[in-house]
Structure 1
């Protein structure tokens, strides 16, 4: 079959205005909790889209590590391409592609760097080898070979036989949302789409979008 003929109907369910909770974070939490029985792998994975100083967009998969009414958090190397983009333009977009339930959540907002104490707490909750990898990898920079990368990892292991300190160049961001869309696939491409928009008084306005 040719690629332009690859298609299926979306029949997992629907979404109505009455289904929606008061805030997008409450609605996000509801949908996230429904992923566990669906058996979705990596439910916390999300596509992070950024734009650099020249206006060139890029995106990559990162893992959500926390969420609440203040926003959505993730951690990374602060010298990476994504971090450089955010320094140039803090407006970002997150996409959660939950195909198992024919759902997507799209978050638009501003990325703000987390404090070092919060980054430290999360960093030390990671597996030890993941902490060491943060020292071995200069993320987004060229590396001569896989051997060089693995040698740097072994050097870090020798350098820090006990507690691994948080690198100065490692931290996190909170994406503070101003617009959040919930997309539910429906048959005949008549999908349900609802968008929350933040108002000046801190409340959220909800409206249905055409598919």
Structure 2
């Protein structure tokens, strides 16, 4: 950003709100791409063009800023509100494309869950994010909410986590550059087996 540095002693109320949002965006991108240890608060402040002391003022600490990033839902959702003829596999394949996550530095937000300290309360926040994702899978599949089906949805979520992590860490081909259409076919086959759906259904 090109905004002028703010004086931390006299923030404008409107500027404070905008600056808080900008710092959160910058932190989310850096934590996702570089991890918790690799992210420096001075770099987050520099991205926004403000004094680093504002991070303590608005968020308390680096640890608290990271926790807020974990707890803040993305503007994107895993599954669209108007599915039309799309399947669960279609939505999941699109969800796994890094291009749809600019607010996470064009990496999948799953990497924010994985790149960070394994301490409380962060573990609880990561679990909550994963449980929301699993709930979305079950709702989109429309197959019920029994413990067995939840286990199967958890396996689908684990597959999604594995795909996102593999692409971010190893970038293998053809997985890394596969289009949503190319990914949706094999994903659909796995989902059909895991959820015990009949061949080729629309999972909504």
**Superposed pair shares fold, TM > 0.5:** no
TM-score, reference length from structure 1: 0.30
**If the length of structure 2 is used for normalisation, what is the TM-score?**
0.31
Richer in strand (by share): 1
